[in-house]
Structure 1
Amino acid sequence: MAASTPTKRPSDSLPITRFTSVVVRFRRLATTGLITAMVVHLIFLVLFWLLDIWLLMAFNIFSVLLYGLCLIGMRFPALRPMSLVLAWLEIIAHAGISTLALGAASGFHYLLLALVPLVYIDPRGDVLTRLTGLLILTGLFVGLDLISTLHDPWFLLREETLLWLRMGNGIICFIGLGTVINVYARSSRQSERDLRSMASTDLLTGLRNRRSLTDEALLLVAERRSVNHHLAVVLVDLDHFKQLNDRYGHAFGDQVLADTARLMNRTMRPGDSLARWGGEEFLILLTDADLDRAICVAERVRESIAAQTFRSDEGESLSITATLGVTEWRGNEEFEVCVSRADDALYLGKQNGRDRVEVAKPR
């Protein structure tokens, strides 16, 4: 088998990736929002040109250019907060100026409602920031509505035109709210799946962890108490792994564990399960397999591990062996007792010279 060169990587890189994914989803949502806002302002630009309202047309030209700059800024981490703040301020200014220019009957102050979900979705905001943002938006919405009732609009439009503007802004607001909530709900469901996966997965090897496999085994044991089905357990321990870590470093050892886990995983049948049991130990749960079948699987795993070679950073080629303890579950015992018996067999295999499969003796 070709030698592999383990690459140095921190074993805790997965949690950072998971956390970053939440920020990435928010950034994608913000970028989508900026593009949508730019398109909407282009539509408003054409609309105000048709209505011959040059002030609002000029403001929308400025808004389109601003959103273009914000989209460029979203590509650079240092500029992203400023880009989002500018986009927020533009929406507030657009709602304010358009409401003062055309009156509350035009419905432009409805656009402030589209910002409400964003106050809560930003993963970097705290409770005080979100409450402050909500109060500001509420005050602006109510204030614009009151001001427009106390003062005549700057530009007078027909009631029919105002009706269509209000309906259009209402539709934009509902679509915006629905889109944001939908994206947020999908992101939340994905985050929940990620958390469940993290809770049941060993971060280094990508295998199931001890808790996850134990839960599955307890269910299988409960099912098989009433039917005549076999279960077998193979406990795998890499030989002299501490010395390997001490000599070549933990980064090398971590990659040896990860590569060995992938190698063993390829030998599993559908329905069998493999988990990292702890340290350099792995546990294989074989469903519908008697003791003879479990011994065959264990021997195949042992030979595959022994045939695997690695190359250290210094160019030294080396291999590693494993000792395996095998036992069959007895229908009247707890799963922990079965694993303990496999562990006894593993310990005996270590005493008998390692790099071997040891079968648990009946008690």
Structure 2
Amino acid sequence: MTFKILLLDFTRGQLQDLMTSWGEPPYRGNQVYEWLHKNLVTDPMQMTNLPKRLRERLAAESVVNPLERIVQVDDAHGETRKTLFRLPDGATIEVVLMLYDKRRTVCISTQVGCGIGCPFCATGMGGLTRNLSPGEIIAQVHWFERWLREDAPDSEGLAVQRPSRVTNIVIMGMGEPLANYDATMQALRAIADPKTFALSARNITLSTVGLVPKIDRLAEEESLPIRLAVSLHAPTDRLRNKLVPINQRYHLPKLIDALVRYQEKTRRRVTFEYAMMRGINDSVEQAHLLVDLLTPVRKAHVNLIPLNPTPGSPYQPSSPEAVRRFQQVLEAGGVTTTVRLRRGVEISAGCGQLRQAAQQPDVLQFIRA
């Protein structure tokens, strides 16, 4: 079997070098880059301003789209589409399209599985297989962008009028993006490139469990002003050590100090994700502790998210009453909050759930139905 390179893995400069190594002028690299990231072609033969011999060589030796769709499921309201993709090595990843009044948001993955091991998360329960390459990350966004760009009267039951565009990206799918830092940043630079895909970096949100050294590194990314969210889920080290095991390395005081440094450097707000779990982290007392914890963080905002439950898990979503009480305490303490909509519960839209279901045909059949 002949190994084929993934063109989306290459930066503009690397494509110029590749073309030079093939005996072509460097500007051919710019042309290929624009076909990939502006026109979103999936076949090198579509790159019509390239010589035929070069298109044929690209077709023979490279791959543009590494994704093969396995399962696609939509929620009953036509607001959420979750897709499970297979990669060339057989690994599988999830991507979610979420539709709002004025936003078309894609939730992407950065790893196959996850090594953090959060016990309430389906991805964490499966462990880490490998990091995704830059091109494998970019391809997820391109897949839904191509679908949205289609000038089609039929939106396949989804609540969106086409042609349209991806307006926002959240890096909250499978994996810890800061554990795959270089590939994630390369992918985001390509997506935010004003000359090609041109999505504003301010419309990109990266969610991390709190890898302190990488947060410090992210603060130095002055040319890529993305938004930062922290998957917090607990107000004390004792509880967070259980829910988010990386906390045993980076305790909450270290994490909060890193976020204060991040804000001093970037002047940007930090959002906190708090998955609300019945009887575990949703008491009024814990809400007061969360207010105290976030006091040093300027303009901290908390997204309260009733947990998307994993089948068979002891971790279940908080009741609406518990969420409301928790929110009242936070807001009384000066912490702004949003109760996030639970999207796609019936289609296993929580991180890693569709991938897990695909390994259980009886469960997958229920989801498809």
Q: Choose between structure 1 and 2: higher strand proportion.
A: 2
Same fold (TM over 0.5): no
The TM-score with structure 2 as length reference comes to 0.25
Greater length-normalized contact order (CA 8 Å, ≥ 6 residues apart): 1
More helix by share: 1
